[in-house]
């Protein structure tokens, strides 16, 4: 039997509408955290904090200087709990993880009920089916990641093995319990990461006196957070351009089919700008931000635009390679949603629009490109009045992931810890 890292006290009802929880996104450029509660019908965002990271704190989405990151996280949490009574302080955290060594794979399992297939599936039988399938996914997935990265099996951690779709007798269902049929089809998404990465995150959580409810693959969480994500007709590509990495997720027919991450984010643009304008990193970063918000004078604008445009061309070529490696996806969706602070650069969207999609990739038409704005999040209500930026999508998505997990456990009797 396997024990997944998503664990909590079974007696604790996290959907009570009062239990405060923190979603923590330790980004390369900014620590973003959200204080939220969950009820039967969704997530309530109550407070949001953003703390800028120092240049040396992170590299490509991974913690580089633990002491610096921990100090930034403490500042972020202090902002969240400001003016709260001690009994109102959160005890639980859900955390995101990104980086090139975070591996994700979509898996379809066909299972045959050999005995009693004319009888209804019981909860015990469903747990047994999920346990058997998840054990095999865990073993095979670790082996596969070991071959790809050179890491030993014991150095790899299962982040989560998430059921994304269930069918019995050819009919899509929310739970197998109560249905009859012989052939069962299960869609899962499995995420794996090096233990060195997850241990660093757990040290942060422990120092903040938090119990970790989960460490979640960020592109998977983002793709599942869209309000259309539960629709079996929904297909889209999600591109989250962060400071250190770009995270890609491909959703087909409501299921996350593929995720990719590569170390090309907003910092590359800043470094190129600093190099070509002979300025320091901080000054170049400020110029880049002003460029994105159209606040630069014309004589400076043209110089910055040349750098941003040429660098976005390199970014697009890297994205093309990532999409070409999505071999099992088939035809790509024709809708793109952009989020993350780097997506505010107008040249990112421009490079996507100018790219000859049909020449290099399996796609029927040039995709439509939209921003993944907070109003497109599913099952999330903003009580803070501050959830309005595309770079807040990732921490909000972590909250939505936890909500979905709890709904599956409570409403659908799907046990995540079989």
pLDDT score of 196 more than 50: yes
Q: Name the average pLDDT for the chain.
A: 90
| Element at 152 (helix H, strand E) | none
Residue 256 · residue 106 · CB < 8 Å: yes
The CATH code of domain 103-191 reads 3.30.1490
Q: Which pLDDT does position 409 carry in this prediction? A: 85
Dist. CA 316–CA 329, nearest whole Å: 19
Band (pLDDT 50/70/90 cuts) for residue 160 is confident
pLDDT score of 215 more than 80: yes
Predicted TM-score (pTM) of the model is 0.92
DSSP classification of residue 177:
B
Q: Mind listing the pLDDT tens digit for each residue in 265-321? A: 999 999 999 998 899 999 999 999 999 999 999 889 999 999 999 999 999 999 999
Dist. CA 162–CA 405, nearest whole Å: 9
Nearest to 34 by CA among 97, 95, 98, 99: 95
Q: Which pLDDT does position 97 carry in this prediction? A: 93
Highest-scoring range by mean pLDDT, 100-114, 161-175, 268-282: 268-282
Specify the residue for token string 């250190």: 244
Dist. CA 9–CA 32, nearest whole Å: 26
Exposure on the CB side of residue 266, measured as CA atoms within 13 A: 29
Strand ranges for 98-151 from DSSP E: 103-112
Q: Which pLDDT does position 411 carry in this prediction? A: 78
Beta bridge partners of 22: 35, 93
Fold observed for domain 21-100+195-227+378-410 = Nucleotidyltransferase; domain 5 (3.30.420)
Residue ranges per structural domain of the chain: 21-100+195-227+378-410, 103-191, 236-371
Share of the chain above pLDDT 70, in %: 95
Q: Do 236-371 and 21-100+195-227+378-410 have the same topology in CATH? A: yes
Dist. CA 243–CA 58, nearest whole Å: 10
The CATH code of domain 236-371 reads 3.30.420.40
């Amino acid at each position: 039997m396997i024990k997944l890292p998503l664990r909590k006290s079974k007696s604790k009802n996290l959907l009570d509408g009062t239990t405060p929880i923190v979603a923590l996104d330790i980004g390369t450029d900014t620590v973003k955290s959200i204080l939220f509660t969950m009820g039967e019908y969704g997530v309530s965002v109550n407070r949001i904090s953003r703390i800028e990271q120092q240049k040396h704190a992170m590299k490509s989405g991974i913690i580089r200087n633990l002491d610096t990151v921990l100090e930034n996280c403490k500042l972020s949490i202090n902002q969240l709990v400001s003016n709260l009574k001690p009994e109102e302080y959160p005890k639980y955290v859900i955390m995101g993880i990104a980086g090139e060594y975070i591996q994700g794979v979509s898996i379809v399992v066909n299972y045959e009920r050999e005995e009693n297939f004319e009888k209804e599936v019981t909860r015990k039988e469903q747990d047994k089916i999920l346990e058997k399938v998840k054990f095999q996914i865990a073993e095979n997935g670790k082996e596969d990641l070991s071959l790809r990265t050179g890491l030993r099996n014991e150095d790899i951690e299962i982040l989560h093995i998430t059921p994304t779709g269930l069918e019995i007798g050819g009919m899509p269902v929310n739970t197998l319990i109560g249905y009859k049929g012989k052939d069962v089809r299960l869609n899962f998404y499995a995420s794996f990461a090096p233990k060195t990465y997850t241990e660093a995150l757990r040290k942060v959580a422990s120092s903040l006196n938090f119990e970790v409810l989960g460490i979640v693959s960020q592109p998977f969480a983002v793709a599942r957070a869209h309000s259309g994500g539960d629709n079996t007709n929904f297909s889209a590509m999600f591109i989250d351009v962060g400071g250190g990495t770009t995270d890609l997720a491909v959703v087909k027919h409501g299921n996350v089919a593929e995720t990719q991450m590569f170390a090309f984010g907003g910092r590359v643009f800043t470094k190129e700008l600093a190099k070509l304008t002979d300025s320091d990193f901080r000054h170049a970063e400020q110029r880049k931000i002003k460029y994105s918000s159209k606040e630069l004078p014309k004589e400076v604008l043209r110089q910055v635009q040349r750098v941003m445009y040429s660098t976005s061309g390199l970014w697009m070529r890297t994205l093309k390679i990532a999409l070409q490696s999505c071999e099992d996806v088939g035809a790509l969706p024709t809708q793109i949603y952009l989020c993350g602070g780097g997506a505010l650069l107008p040249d990112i969207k421009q490079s996507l629009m100018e790219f000859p999609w049909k020449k290099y990739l399996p796609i029927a038409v040039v995709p439509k490109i939209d921003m993944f704005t907070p109003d497109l999040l599913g099952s999330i209500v903003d009580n803070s009045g501050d959830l309005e930026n595309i770079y807040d999508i990732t921490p909000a998505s972590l909250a939505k992931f936890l909500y979905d997990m709890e709904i599956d456990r409570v409403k659908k009797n799907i046990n995540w810890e079989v």
